[in-house]
Amino acid sequence: LKVLEGTEDPSSSHRQPIGETGNSQRTEDVLPLTLDTDFESEAPPTNGTIGYDAGNISANGNANRNASSEPIFHVRSRTAASLAGVLQQEQTQYESLDYDVCENKLFQDEQLSRLRDRFSLRTHFIRWIIFILIGIITAVIACTIDIIIEELSELKYNFLKSSVDDNVTVNESGGDLALPYLWWLLLSAVPVSIGAGMVTYIEPITAGSGIPQVKSYLNGVKIPRIVRIKTLAVKSIGVITSVVGGLAGGKEGPMIHAGAVVAAGISQGKSTTFVKDFHIFKAFRDDHEKRDFVLGGAAAGVSAAFGAPIGGMLFSLEEAASFWNQNLIWRTLIASIISSFTLNIVLSAYHGVGDLTFTGLFNLGKFDHPLTFEYFELPLFMLLGVMGGLMGAAWNFLNTQINKFRKRFVPWRAGKVCEAVLVAILGVTLACIMIYYINDCRPLGNDPTIHPVQLFCEDNEYNAVAALWFQTPEATVRALFHDPPGSHKILTLAVFTIIYYFLSCFTFGLNVSLGVFIPTALVGAAWGRLVAMLLFYLFPETEFLHPGKYALIGAAANLGGVLRMTISLSVILMETTGVETSFFFPLIIALISAKWVGDYFNDGIYDTIIEVNHVPMLPWEPLPQYMGLTAQAILSKPVVCIKLRDRAHYIYEVLHKCNHNGFPVVDDVEGDRRSEGRVCGIILRSQLIVILLKSLYVENQRFWQQETTIQTFRDVYPRYPSIKSVSPLDRKYNYTVDLSMFMNPSPVRVNTYDSVPRIFNIFRALGLRHLLVINNENRIEGIITRRDFIYK
Ligand code: ATP
Ligand code: MG
């Protein structure tokens, strides 16, 4: 009664600090008690009297967590109680995906019927077709983005070059950059504002590269709207405008995201956005199947972005995937090979190459001569790796601080768009200042730049600084790899490295669709080349200091320092530059040293973003603070349960009153003390809603029993209706729901005394969403979800 009247101690929180079993306090938890007590009386609860108003029920449905009772969070980096509210809100916005297949009676019936008509062979075959389709469509989208960026950038920079030529040579006093500068500002600010505006106002989830989001999705976290068609459209236009606008970013990350959206869309055979069901691929309408396709899509995206099929597959394996099996290796490889093959065909056709071997597929440019190295260079490569690790760790730290600052001080949407435009303006201004003040003239014919700018140089000379800036970042990386020795001054590259390092740091995190790969490679290539030039300056006799080679090692080191990947990055770099396998060794030395040094200081940029946004992503290993603890320390109790045969109105009320997504199904319940029942299964909120919506009650069983199949539930996937869409039960108030054919009859169960690291491994490996903790009598003791492994 005390509890019902809301007079219990407000400080009793549902979450307990690590190590406390908290049994005595937890028995006072309100929700299950009040639910049971309340429904016993069969009268609808009245707000206020029993404390059910929105303020008293926390966002995740646990009772009595109001403003005055802040829960105690044990989060690695933040412990301040004042942040707990924000943190809680951020955490609860993420739900999990159901990677554990619910093998209920309906599912088993379907499996049996498939066995009878050899359907599973057909399903297997269709699965391959889908992976091939994913490869083709992703590549076509990537090509389209690629070609549009290429054409628009060509137009933009040619116009700027001619504007520079016209204005600077006409003016005899040494040149006037003012007009070209204004044009440059305009041609950067307009596309960037369009891109940032679309991202901010139409689909904010498209901001950034998309890789952290895809990675979280593959780990089992539902990121709202991440794989929608609208997201794909905004992302594609966003990346085109940002790259054409000249921001320090690349198109690779967004293409990976695009691949993931394509995969999620095609594999379902329907579009929820366009309300169109093609009635195909119905067997793949669940999170588990979709996850594998999304992984294939990500691989196809990498493959299309870089023209690197093996790199694409390895990227999925190393960075994106949280679950992996042998079949998947084949399928992702097929998706990425088909993707790069399609890319090849389309680009060959577009560029008019007859034999389907478009050389531009090496999008970081092919090295003409085999890259060789001396054994005494290996320590040097390692040192470059260490430098990359240090610079990468510093970059990640700085970028995170800038983004935290942004989140706090630029919360308004218009502010975000203005910020992106300001950074674009800053980039152009810095570039102009650099071009104006650094006098780096090189004889024509030295640099393979197609349209060299003369600027303040003599006739027969071109400006090497302008050559660095007047093209897309990807083209600049290509130039740094392949420009012959002596193409730049030391000062030019030093200033360029510094400017681009900070510019890319400010850019990543803006509300625009841009990836981090190309700017990172660019900074690395610049300082790698710079190192070679400095060494050559100090030791002019040496012959091994090929600047392109050092630019490549520098790019690898810097990428390793920021992204912390090794195998996939080295393979991607090899595939995009066509270097021989013998050069794999130097690349991997630089990458591994960079990764180890960087890891000493902080996480890779993608993991940092995931952590800063409090995405409940499960790491590979349990967090160290859980060592030695048992399930008792992290479980939540009392548990909101549902009886095997329960009253419709109880279910209806439970779904309204709490936001949990899984409910243990119990029998052998004394009265209404469900939370002490004996476990016989688990049921998901989405299934319960379908049951209520379709009136699958015992009382009218004969009407629905024949036609209800697993498809009834798949039809509403993935946008399950909310409980609000279920009309009040009225005359069905006392109807009964029998869950035996709908529930998952074999939920994973552990004992209260099982160790947390062990149950973490079970949870992680099986991709579970709910783990039930039982006692020796199979009675429910508690429940564990992914959040409990991270925040308790
Ligand atoms: P997820 O958020 O991972 O998709 P969920 O929504 O079912 O799963 P939440 O309700 O968000 O889980 O979990 C929040 C907290 O509530 C966790 O500490 C969890 O242990 C607890 N919890 C989850 N389900 C129940 C339940 N049926 N009864 C009581 N507590 C629960
Ligand atoms: Mg939840």
pLDDT value of position 360: 59
For 275-314, the pLDDT digits (tens) are: 788 888 888 888 999 999 999 999 999 999 998 999 999 9
Q: Is 675 a pocket residue for ligand 1 (Cβ < 6 Å)?
A: no
Residue 119 has pLDDT above 80, yes or no: no
Q: Is 636 a pocket residue for ligand 1 (Cβ < 6 Å)?
A: yes
Q: Is 130 helix (H, G, I), strand (E, B) or coil?
A: helix
Burial of 698 (0-12, 13-18, 19+ CB in 10 A): exposed
CA 397 to chain centre: 19
Q: Look up the CATH number of domain 23-94+622-789.
A: 3.10.580.10
Among 522, 514, 50, residue whose Cα is nearest residue 239: 514
Q: How far apart are CA 771 and CA 648, in angstroms?
A: 25
Q: How far apart are CA 790 and CA 212, in angstroms?
A: 18
Q: Which range scores top for mean pLDDT: 46-50, 170-174, 226-230, 424-428?
A: 424-428
- Ligand closest in space to the Cα of 682: 1
Q: Is 271 helix (H, G, I), strand (E, B) or coil?
A: strand
- Ligand closest in space to the Cα of 787: 1
For 361-377, the pLDDT digits (tens) are: 677 888 878 888 888 89
Q: Which amino acid is at 600?
A: Y
Residue 626 has pLDDT above 70, yes or no: yes
pLDDT value of position 462: 85
Work out which ligand 1 atom sits closest to the CA atom of 661: 7
Work out which ligand 1 atom sits closest to the CA atom of 636: 20
Least confident of 75-84, 143-152, 240-249, 646-655: 75-84
Cβ neighbors of 527 (< 8 A, separation 6 or more) are 387, 391, 493, 497, 554, 558
Q: How far apart are CA 397 and CA 603, in angstroms?
A: 9
Q: How far is the CA of 60 from the centre of ligand 2 (A)?
A: 6
Least confident of 38-42, 198-202, 335-339, 442-446: 38-42
Share of the chain above pLDDT 70, in %: 85
Q: Which amino acid is at 766?
A: L
Q: Can you name the residues that pair with 390 across neighbouring β-strands?
A: none
pLDDT value of position 77: 40
For 262-282, the pLDDT digits (tens) are: 999 999 888 877 778 888 888
Q: How far is the CA of 444 from the centre of ligand 1 (A)?
A: 67
Q: Is 97 a pocket residue for ligand 1 (Cβ < 6 Å)?
A: no
pLDDT value of position 324: 86
Q: Is 785 a pocket residue for ligand 1 (Cβ < 6 Å)?
A: yes
Mean pLDDT of the chain: 84
For 458-511, the pLDDT digits (tens) are: 878 888 888 899 888 999 999 999 988 888 899 999 999 999 999 999 999 999
CA nearest ligand 1 atom 9, residue: 660
> In Å, what is the CA distance from 665 to each residue of 259, 635, 640?
39, 17, 9
Q: How far is the CA of 31 from the centre of ligand 1 (A)?
A: 13
Q: Is 788 a pocket residue for ligand 1 (Cβ < 6 Å)?
A: yes
Please report, for the chain, the start and end positions of each structural domain, with discontinuous segments joined by +: 23-94+622-789, 375-612
Q: What are phi and psi of 780, to 5 degrees?
A: -65, 130
Residue 756 has pLDDT above 60, yes or no: yes
Residues measured by CB to lie within 5 Å of ligand 2, the ion: 95
- H helices present in 355-412, as ranges: 378-409
> In Å, what is the CA distance from 180 to each residue of 68, 158, 270, 315, 575?
59, 12, 49, 41, 37
Q: Is 242 a pocket residue for ligand 1 (Cβ < 6 Å)?
A: no
Domain 375-612 in CATH 3.20.20.70: no
Q: How far is the CA of 669 from the centre of ligand 2 (A)?
A: 26
Pairing of strands 645-647, 736-738: antiparallel
Cβ neighbors of 532 (< 8 A, separation 6 or more) are 545, 546, 547, 549, 550, 551
Pairing of strands 678-684, 662-667: antiparallel
For 389-421, the pLDDT digits (tens) are: 999 999 999 999 999 999 999 999 999 999 999
Where do we find the tokens 């009886």?
643
**ipTM given for this complex:** 0.99
